[in-house]
Amino acid sequence: MGVPSIIVLAKKNPSFWEVCDFRDIKLVIDGNCLYNFLYSYLNIDTIGNFSEYAEKVEIFFMWLFDRRITPYVVFDGAFDIDNKKIETVKSRAQQRTANPEVKTPILAKITFTKILEKLRIQYIKCDFEADRDIQMLANDLNCPVLSRDSDFFIFDVHHGYIPFDSLPLSAVFDGTGDYEIKIYFIENLWKKFPYLRSNMALLATALGNDYLSKHSYVLQNAYQSDNFRLPRCTTEVSDLFEIPCEAGERFFITIRKVLYWICRYNDANREKRQLLYFCKKDKREEEMLTRSLKVFTEPEDYTSYNLYDLLQERESGGLDRSAVPSHVPTWIIDSHRRGFIPDFVLNTLIHKRVFLLSQVEGTHDLSSHECSLSIRKVIYALLLGTEQSVTEHDRYRMSLCEFQRTGVICVTGLLRDPFIPNMPRELKIKILGAALCCQIPSESICGSLGQTRLFLMITTYWARVAEPAININFLKSVLISYLLFSTIKSNEFRDLKIDFRDDDCLNQRKSNIDGRKVANSSKGETTLNSKLSCSDVRLKDLYYAVTQFAGKDIKTKRITYRILFIHLHSCSHVYCI
């Protein structure tokens, strides 16, 4: 991510860093980096122990609150308009396809944002890549940036950059000890290397980055040329690192060559011409080189909406569209920026391209995202109509493949610029029911609990289309988990009363749903009293509501496939859209 070799330069020079108290400040946090980093750092299983993850995320932010730090979390948005990093996105998606067990599960981000909402932490989403927006917001708020993206060693963040590994995370989660925290300041780098003040874009480009790899044709030609040759007198480059590097250490020679080259010529235009020469008239190499220099040049007329204004809820007389194409509805832009809808929507509207992230599953099976295809087709129809196609990047066995999808919807009268925020809830449920090809559970089953109705529809769909087919025990575990977590986390249900003395209570389908209620709670009966509903919701009723739609697909033999739950993850992920 970013400019990997700049990390070596920063860590080998302690003078670039300053110890801070890390209290009573504002802090801009790179949201995408943080939710991925915490999941990896905490070593949570990649199937998805989201309860433990949520607990640890909450502990982290409570630690910030204890130090009277006000966090502002900023997330990446859609792919950039010019698709400048699309090859990097494809490469990372292929890496995830090959090794999904080392990647963050797809529901981790949703879990993370739910904790932000619970703690009332302000978060927003950029239209596209967030790095420059994060820098601008931090400078507006006069505060440092917290991330692990090495781009922030290059950007001019006035009040410093804190990499995640500078935080005492073991002490944070153990609740032990005091500690010092160091902040990187780019001004300190410029004190040591004054010729870099106006050449940071050149440094980032010559070292290699996400836009122009250090293994690219142009940079390999450059490194082997006389222009980048180190001097015979080693004293000219001996003081580059305050902490000595071992011979053969990663990036050791490359950093020395690049710094000596920039210092030797100290003319950005001349050095750019040299790099263009090493492209050998390869148009693609020239394009990547030019793009890299542009991205890492401090912008004078940066085009993005004002994140600070949105955080302050200021009205600027109209929505600032920034670089978002004019055909994207304003309500979608506003909802995207406030984090109400995922990047999936903007990527569909702007690029007509979607990446479906692989999960831990059998590579001989179909992708788990096949399970939610009919739901996505309805979304495509609502966004683009039924004539335009969307390119989906999804796993097929061990490879990342492209699939062309078109929108399909059977509810008429919706495709003329649907304003979904004002759409009646009943119509939304009808559309979802059509997408899932299932009936809408009645109020006699769900009472007034809207979330329960949606949960039942998603679960019945999953039970019907999952391959390999699920058995009855999966439904039991999903239903019980839903009820327990609804009680513990969301308080949708109050006073949960479950008597499991009759182990068959889940196996028995309700024979009559005719409004007859039993006044007393007999042995084996499960009752859920909700403050949101006047009527009781019975676990047997919920179980029947699921199985009545998908009963023919339920297997009675007691077999388990742990990976089946990732199909439910895919359905739930699309439902959150």
Residues in the chain: 577
Stretch (H or E) spanning 492: none
Confidence band, pLDDT 50/70/90 cuts, at residue 350: very high
For residue 405, pLDDT beyond 90: yes
Return the pLDDT at 541.
63
pLDDT tens by residue, 187-209:
999 999 999 999 999 999 999 99
Query: Which residues, 6+ apart, have CB-to-CB distance to 366 below 8 Å?
Result: 467
User: Which whole number is the average pLDDT over 455-460?
Assistant: 80
Query: Do residues 117 and 58 touch, judged by C-beta distance below 8 A?
Result: no
Q: Of 46-55, 137-146, 293-302, 471-480, give the range with the top mean pLDDT.
A: 137-146
Which stretch of 71-85, 316-330, 492-506 has the lowest confidence by average pLDDT?
A: 492-506
Query: Do residues 278 and 222 touch, judged by C-beta distance below 8 A?
Result: yes
Nearest to 554 by CA among 479, 501, 454, 484: 479
Return the pLDDT at 489.
56
Three-state DSSP at 392 gives strand
Confidence band, pLDDT 50/70/90 cuts, at residue 490: low
User: Which whole number is the average pLDDT over 545-566?
Assistant: 52
Return the pLDDT at 515.
38
Q: Of 110-124, 360-374, 494-508, 556-570, give the range with the top mean pLDDT.
A: 110-124
Nearest to 349 by CA among 420, 432, 287, 288: 420
Quick one: tokens of 269?
Answer: 């235009």
Task: Tell me whether strands 527-529 and 494-497 are parallel, antiparallel or unpaired.
Answer: antiparallel
Q: What are phi and psi of 395, to 5 degrees?
A: -75, 135
Report how far apart, in Å, the C-alpha atoms of 491 and of each of 119, 252, 496, 530, 541 are: 16, 56, 10, 9, 20
Confidence band, pLDDT 50/70/90 cuts, at residue 358: confident
Q: What are phi and psi of 223, to 5 degrees?
A: -60, -30
For residue 478, pLDDT beyond 50: yes
pLDDT tens by residue, 225-284:
988 888 765 555 557 888 887 766 667 888 889 999 999 888 889 999 999 999 988 899
Please, is 3 exposed, middle or buried when counting C-beta atoms within 10 Å of its C-beta (0-12, 13-18, 19+)? Answer: buried
Three-state DSSP at 16 gives helix
User: Using omega within 30 degrees of 0 as the cis cutoff, is the peptide bond preceding 144 cis?
Assistant: no
Going along the chain from its start, the domains and CATH numbers come out as 4-189 (3.40.50.1010), 444-508+523-576 (no CATH)
Return the pLDDT at 480.
78
Return the pLDDT at 357.
87
User: Which whole number is the average pLDDT over 29-45?
Assistant: 91
For residue 170, pLDDT beyond 50: yes
For residue 109, pLDDT beyond 80: yes
Three-state DSSP at 370 gives helix
Matching residue, tokens 């505060």: 143
The 3 state secondary structure assigned to 347-369 is HHHHCCEEECCCCCCCCCCCCHH
Rounded to whole angstroms, the Cα distance separating 345 from 351 reads 10
Return the pLDDT at 574.
58
Q: What are phi and psi of 13, to 5 degrees?
A: -130, 85
Return the pLDDT at 551.
52
Query: What global pTM score does this model have?
Result: 0.82
User: Which whole number is the average pLDDT over 392-404?
Assistant: 91
For residue 425, pLDDT beyond 90: no
Quick one: tokens of 64?
Answer: 């910030």
Q: Beta strands of 483-524 (E only): which ranges?
A: 494-497
